[in-house]
Amino acid sequence: MPRTRRRPGLRTLLTALLAGVTPLLAALLLTAPSAQAASLTEVTGFGANPSNLRMYVYRPDSAPARPAVLVAVHYCTGSGPAFYSGTEFASLADRYGFLVIYPSATRSGGCFDVSSPQALKRGGGSDPVGIMSMVTYAQQHYGADPARVFVTGASSGAMMTNVLLGDYPDVFKAGAAFMGVPFGCFATTDGSEWNSACANGTVIRTPQQWGDLARGAYPGYNGPRPRMQVWHGTEDTTLRYPNFGEEIKQWTDVLGVSRTPAFTDHPQSTWTRTRYGGTGTQAPVEAVSIQGTGHTLPTSGMAARAISFFGLDSATTPPPTDPPTTPPAGACRVAYTTSAWNTGLTASITVTNTGTAPIDGWALAFTLPAGQTITSGWNATFSPTSGAVTARNVAYNSTLAPGASTTLGFQANHTGNTGNPVSFALNGAACQVN
């Protein structure tokens, strides 16, 4: 369809986004931080920036020598300075001493690119590459701690939060998305910025399909995945409420935790909060549904909940140590044996829960040596069939009691390398290998 036929529709959608966030800005500007010694600073020449983003930094006077970093991403029609003034993240940074980066989109409409093939691939180009340059700059010029990098955003910024966790799972430790959509949901191939099917909540996939989309942004990655917090209003007519459930599907699958809530409560009368894979404040996945609310998040007090989910609500700064090159062994043990011939092999994997709590739903991640390709498997589903593989439970072996084991296996082709994977992670935690 010619561009001249599409533009009116895009204007209408951007107007809807602006209409949704205007009440938010009006409310929050009343409680925005008052004059502070520290101020918002624009940084130029911060590195690779293929989409001409602008970078703004807020470094509070309370920041330690090695501060944590929060990337705070604005909505369509917004800007970095507007998100600084209209949200509570700067005042929370004053209280807890973390650094805030406010990226600012410069394209017409002020939306971030969460739809192009370049944006949905690690190092592929567009906005995620520019935002990563900002994070690297903060580490090099402000002494920011690479082990404590987080991201949050509203609307278009929430969609970018999902994208950054998929593209750079080794960089971001957690994200909080206010009114977003799953990674890959907004994908387009015609150069347009808007995906109406996704916005309307009609893109429905299985958890594994969503998970594979996020994992596919960084093929071969087998390390820890960032935690995720998602927020949505039930009456959102811009990015409709079904996207909330699809985000939960995606990130519980990516993190290998059960979609049955481990914890449910109501912090406020219209809020329903569910946690997955854990019951504490920093569970792997947390979801907050706001009854009767439209496209107006975050409202007052919600930013503080995100900061608590990140674990940034403490003035205590960890000692300045480099992040470990390998994660510590978790509460699991793996025994792996193979039998090989000519161009084929079979592998048997025994997984033992060495912890004190039952595991309800599991995903075992490992990387096959080059040249090995799975042709069939048993007692688990395997995806993909080569490279960074995840084996997920089937219905009859989903629960592992403390001390219990389950055995799974597969048959594979090989091109000469019949070696074993060097490491395994169960639900994101590294396992002891026999």
Residue 311 has pLDDT above 80, yes or no: yes
- Residues 424 and 182: their CA atoms lie apart, in Å, by 27
Residue 399 has pLDDT above 50, yes or no: yes
Q: What is the per-residue pLDDT across 232-288, written as a single tens digit (0 to 9) for each? A: 999 999 999 999 999 999 999 999 999 999 999 999 999 999 999 999 999 999 999
Structure tokens at 264: 């449910």
| pLDDT bucket at 323, cuts 50 / 70 / 90 | very low
Residue 318 has pLDDT above 50, yes or no: no
Structure tokens at 180: 């977003």
pLDDT at 36: 46
Q: What is the per-residue pLDDT across 195-244, written as a single tens digit (0 to 9) for each? A: 999 999 999 999 999 999 999 999 999 999 999 999 999 999 999 999 99
Residue 321 has pLDDT above 50, yes or no: no
Residue 433 has pLDDT above 50, yes or no: yes
| pLDDT bucket at 27, cuts 50 / 70 / 90 | very low
| Residue 254 dihedral angles phi and psi, to the nearest 5° | -60, -40
| pLDDT bucket at 22, cuts 50 / 70 / 90 | very low
Which are the catalytic amino acids?
A: 155
pLDDT at 387: 85
Q: What is the per-residue pLDDT across 53-92, written as a single tens digit (0 to 9) for each? A: 999 999 999 999 999 999 999 999 999 999 999 999 999 9
Question: Beta strand pairing status for 405-413 and 373-378?
Answer: antiparallel
pTM of the predicted structure, to 2 decimals: 0.68
Cβ-proximal residues to 175 (8 Å cutoff; 6+ apart), any chain: 150, 151, 152, 161, 162, 164, 165, 226, 227, 228, 229
Q: What is the per-residue pLDDT across 83-92, written as a single tens digit (0 to 9) for each? A: 999 999 999 9
Residue 16 has pLDDT above 60, yes or no: no
- Residues 404 and 351: their CA atoms lie apart, in Å, by 8
Percentage of the chain modeled with pLDDT above 70: 88
| pLDDT bucket at 298, cuts 50 / 70 / 90 | very high
Average pLDDT over residues 140-144: 95
- Residues 176 and 305: their CA atoms lie apart, in Å, by 9
| pLDDT bucket at 330, cuts 50 / 70 / 90 | low
